Structure 1
Amino acid sequence: MTADTQVMEAAEQPGPAGGTLDAIGVSAWFGQRKVLEKVDIVMRAGEVTALIGPSGCGKSTFLRILNRMHELVPAATLAGSVLLDGEDIYGTELRLTEVRRRIGMVFQKPNPFPAMSIADNVTAGLKLNGLRSADKETLIEECLRRASLWDEVRNRLPAPAGGLSGGQQQRLCIARSLAVRPDVLLMDEPCSALDPTSTRRVEETIHELKEQVTIIIVTHNMQQAQRVSQRCAFFLAEENAPGRVVEQGPTEQVFHEPEDPRTADYVNGRFG
């Protein structure tokens, strides 16, 4: 095998198989109001970690801390550390653009560029991150396939993304995130605005992606948390207190053999 052949084969290998995120003693404030209290969670590569809990307990805030979006909020501060494969994402060695590339985000409401073509939406992140692709057509197909969207749009790639259904737009946003080869994909209630069929397809996509990209998902759907995740963390904010993790562990344990009665009450629909 020649050196050139080795380089070509290496370039054809799939993207990173995911990274491990480790939150250590993470606390957060909006001004003087403390919203998170000393959160410790290990989110492992090759797994889906679900963050569950009632509204207002800090789940989405924690998710945004994981890729440095929390600091975009005026007067927002935090304490603790977030490590990506051992590197502090708030340290001086990782630039903000590199953190956002390696830790992507899919939001609750699909946010493609509606006037931009489906194909151009997929590659939009490359320009934003100062990246290039030698073969954009191959990259577009690969990412749309990984997002379980290729068969539905392969003959419509020049069409505006605004013409897609809500579920298709959400999967297009996933494809766009995958184009920059992230290690981690954060999902903030990605199915809350979708119909059951679209929800099932997004969940199938999550299942297929977890071996390639570490996924952390916020969801209020307890059935969804059980279907898609391998590990689960239950957040709760008592009255006039910041949110904290009450319990975490394998999803089956959290749902069927929880150690804290508050966890049992929540997952069984007795509050929240």
Structure 2
Amino acid sequence: MTETTIPLPPITEDAGTGATLEARRISCWFGDHKVLERVSLTMPAGQVTALIGPSGCGKSTFLRTLNRMHELVPSASLAGEVLLDGEDIYARGRRLTEARRRIGMVFQKPNPFPAMSIYDNVTAGLKLTGQRVRESSKDALVEECLTKAGLWKEVRARLRQPGGALSGGQQQRLCIARSLAVRPKVLLMDEPCSALDPTSTRRIEETIRELAHEVTIVIVTHNMQQAARVSDQCAFFLAEQGTPGGIVEHGPTTAMFGNPTDPRTADYVEGRFG
């Protein structure tokens, strides 16, 4: 892969209010097993969309289709379209690395490079996506991204120490900073707080809300209180009686929790199943 030196403007100038992400009629398989059936959802620019529903209903699979991670599984296949500001990321000729740069991912378990320094963790994604920042700009980039991730004040005196030495919550925020360094339009989060203590969870949630006006965020969560706190809209997934997963209902978070139209949604958000 050829690297090019490019100027990287501040996140606020590059990302603005993020980008609209639209899934159209997404169906997914693992081998012959169909796990999602014609799912369509618009995730508006500059908002947080929460994907909720019981385990096994296809939320994480759907999330992974949104930046082409689903295709990493050898037996996986997909039908449908994923549009980023109107352009299909699966269209012929679209580069996989470009989709991953514009649509970042934060996983359930923090995955910093443990032996790599905090500083180098932040800049690692640039090399992986074929970008190169001038040395004179790197310090400012690292500070900016760690600040956006709510971690700068905690680590600024030890940037050359290993990222693996941080606490779990700090590691997760480091992963967010690493994702931000490549200037994504969208940030996907797959249960980013499930392994964290309440204090770390609160910090991650604060970071999500602070980033939302700059980067479109899509988060999978089983925590209904978290979905209510951080999201602008929710999509409720369900797979019933061995059928593929799909969206039962979606809409503004206040409506989904306060006045859902489908009784199954009400049962789930009120804790009667799942």
- Residue 106 of structure 2 aligns with which residue? 106
2:177 to 175, 185, 190: 175
Shift of 1:220: 0.1
CA distance 1:11–1:147, shift in 2 (3 Å): closer
The size of the alignment, in residue pairs, is 264
Tell me how large the CA RMSD over aligned residues is: 1.2
For residues 10-41 of structure 1, the C-alpha deviation after alignment (integer angstroms, 9 at most, x for no partner) is 94563312111000111111111110011110
Shift of 1:69: 0.5
1:138 to 123, 134, 140: 140
Query: How many angstroms apart in 2 are the aligned matches of 1:165 and 1:187?
Result: 19
Shift of 1:93: 4.3
Unaligned runs of 5+ in 2: 1-6
Q: Given the alignment of the two structures, is residue 14 of structure 1 paired with residue 13 of structure 2, yes or no? A: yes
Calculate the TM-score normalised by the size of structure 1: 0.95
- Residue 5 of structure 1 aligns with which residue? none
Please identify, of 237-246 and 125-134, the stretch whose mean Cα deviation from structure 2 is larger.
125-134
- Residue 230 of structure 2 aligns with which residue? 228
Shift of 1:165: 0.3
For residues 58-108 of structure 1, the C-alpha deviation after alignment (integer angstroms, 9 at most, x for no partner) is 000000000001011112111111100000000024211100000000000
Query: How many angstroms apart in 2 are the aligned matches of 1:243 and 1:255?
Result: 21
- Residue 190 of structure 1 aligns with which residue? 192
Amino acid at match of 2:256: V
Residue 14 of structure 1 aligns to a residue in which SS? helix
Match runs of 1:51-66 below 5 Å: 51-66=51-66
Query: How many angstroms apart in 1 are the aligned matches of 2:97 and 2:40?
Result: 25
Match runs of 1:77-96 below 5 Å: 77-96=77-96
Q: Percent identity?
A: 72
- Residue 245 of structure 1 aligns with which residue? 247
For residues 180-202 of structure 1, the C-alpha deviation after alignment (integer angstroms, 9 at most, x for no partner) is 00000000000000000000000
- Residue 3 of structure 1 aligns with which residue? none
- Residue 4 of structure 1 aligns with which residue? none
- Residue 152 of structure 2 aligns with which residue? 150
Calculate the TM-score normalised by the size of structure 2: 0.94
Shift of 1:133: 1.4
Query: How many angstroms apart in 1 are the aligned matches of 2:166 and 2:201?
Result: 15
